[in-house]
């Protein structure tokens, strides 16, 4: 008999069920051309060849050599959960680089974690007691229901947004969510945000940043800003830490101790398997606690060593960032053009690895979440395309879907778009 906690893992949504169907029947252009195409995975494979080329060009016979001997034993035995100093240094520099060098990151305020999933959970453990709550704008990444809540006992209260203003966060929506938490007798500890947004593919405007910062100040709330898609943006965009630097330049202002940034190398460098995540905070007490908690999920010293060499090659990293943004922009264009040809449109976005697609017109007069679920099942089971329905992202309006474009070859993407076009035609016949 297992504990109740392990049986309430938060993976029973259509987002995870779609993955299960894909794994039973994965598409392969040669061996299984009728299989399911995975468009529900936010993974960046567009620039992997650049990293492979760097590895090949820099693969030396004395890879683990250093002056006076080998570094292999040092890496094999290294267990300090503070991380390799040389890696933290270049990681902090990289985090500044992808934000246009408008802000600087202090290595002493950086905590290494085994990916952003671990970083977000650690922050929940550090900032809230079981039963306390964080406010999160909808739509949001379905995995947060698992990552933030499962083991911590923290509650999520949605901040509902609407397509009528392109899912912009407003003061009334913030106040309504805060009031709902109070009605439920939940103490609100903070705001949890993704910037750039997953699944919208948009970045927060300066107006939204100001609103969120002042709302958090008025209620003494923490802000967790998950910024793992920062390097996927078409251009460096305003961040919380940059905005706070301008509005409150005094580093001793209380707001600084309540802002916590999550970063990762999984999306921009396309290295989810390396499990490189980080927490950045000016709160010394939190940094100390999070560093101790990171011992339950350390980043391997071998990964840190390799990535420290890649990130230290500044000409390569700058060239990679430019080319990666160019490729993502082109692929987003291919996706949007294919959707338009099918008669579909998506929210205008400038970041992320996905499009937020409006399929409300395909559901007929029954514009309900039941109709959305039926359309999603049809796409997966009959037409072989797995996407994430809006309900799994807690979207308040049925008919929106997250469709990823950077995890497959371009010809596979075009095949997926042909299948989506067939779904649209089928829906039109049914109406």
The residues annotated with a catalytic role in the active site are 141, 226, 228, 267
Among candidate residues 142, 212, 204, the one with its CA nearest the CA of residue 173: 212
User: 3-state DSSP call for residue 59?
Assistant: coil
- Alpha carbons 194 and 228: distance in angstroms, whole number: 8
CA atoms within 13 A on the CB side of 327: 22
* 378 Cβ contact list (under 8 Å, min separation 6): 423, 426
Name beta bridge partners: 262.
226, 279
Long-range contacts of 151-157 (CB under 8 A, 24+ apart): 151/5, 151/121, 152/121, 152/124, 152/125, 152/128, 153/129, 154/124, 154/128, 154/130, 155/131, 155/186, 156/192, 157/133, 157/181, 157/184, 157/186, 157/188
Contact 258/240 with Cβ under 8 angstroms? no
Dihedral angle at the C-alpha atoms of 321, 324, 325, 328, nearest 10 degrees?
-160
DSSP sequence for 310-335:
HHH-HHHHHHHHHHHHHHHHHHHHHH
Among candidate residues 142, 282, 168, the one with its CA nearest the CA of residue 222: 282
- Alpha carbons 412 and 391: distance in angstroms, whole number: 26
């Amino acid at each position: 008999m297992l504990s109740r906690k392990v049986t309430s893992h938060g993976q029973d949504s259509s987002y995870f069920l779609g993955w299960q169907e894909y794994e039973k029947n994965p598409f392969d252009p040669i061996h299984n051309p009728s299989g399911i195409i995975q468009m529900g995975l936010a993974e960046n494979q567009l620039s992997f060849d650049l990293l492979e080329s760097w590895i090949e060009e820099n693969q030396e016979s004395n890879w683990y050599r250093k002056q006076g001997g080998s570094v292999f034993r040092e890496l094999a035995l290294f267990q300090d959960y503070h991380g390799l100093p040389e890696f933290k240094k270049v990681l902090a520099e990289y985090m500044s680089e992808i934000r246009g060098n408008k802000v600087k990151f202090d290595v002493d305020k950086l905590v290494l974690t085994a990916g952003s999933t671990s970083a977000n959970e650690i922050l929940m453990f550090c900032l809230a007691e079981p039963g306390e709550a964080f406010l999160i704008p909808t739509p949001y990444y379905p995995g947060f229901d698992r990552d933030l809540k499962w083991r911590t006992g923290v509650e999520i209260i949605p901040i509902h947004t609407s397509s009528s203003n392109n899912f912009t966060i407003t003061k009334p929506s913030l106040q309504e969510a805060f009031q709902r938490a109070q009605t439920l007798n939940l103490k609100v500890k903070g705001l949890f945000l993704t910037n750039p947004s997953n699944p919208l593919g948009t970045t927060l405007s300066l107006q939204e940043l100001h609103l969120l910062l002042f709302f958090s100040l008025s209620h003494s709330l923490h802000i967790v800003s998950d910024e793992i898609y920062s390097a996927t943006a078409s251009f460096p965009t305003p961040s919380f830490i940059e905005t706070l630097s301008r509005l409150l330049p005094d580093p001793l202002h209380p707001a600084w101790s309540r802002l916590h940034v999550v970063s990762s190398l999984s999306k921009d460098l396309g290295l989810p398997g390396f499990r490189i995540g980080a927490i950045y905070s000016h709160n010394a007490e939190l940094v100390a606690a999070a560093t101790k908690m990171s011992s339950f999920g350390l980043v391997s010293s071998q990964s840190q060593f390799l990535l420290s060499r890649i990130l230290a090659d500044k000409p390569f990293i700058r060239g990679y960032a430019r080319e990666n943004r160019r490729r993502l922009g082109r692929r987003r264009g291919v996706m949007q053009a294919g959707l338009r040809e099918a008669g579909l449109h998506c929210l205008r976005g400038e970041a992320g690895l996905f499009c937020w697609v409006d399929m409300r017109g395909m559901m007929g007069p029954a514009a309900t979440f039941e109709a959305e679920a039926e359309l999603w099942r049809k796409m997966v089971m009959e037409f072989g395309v797995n996407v994430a329905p809006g309900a799994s992202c807690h979207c308040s309006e049925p008919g929106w879907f997250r469709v990823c474009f950077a995890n497959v070859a371009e010809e596979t993407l075009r095949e997926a778009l042909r299948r989506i076009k067939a779904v649209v035609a089928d829906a039109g016949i049914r109406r």
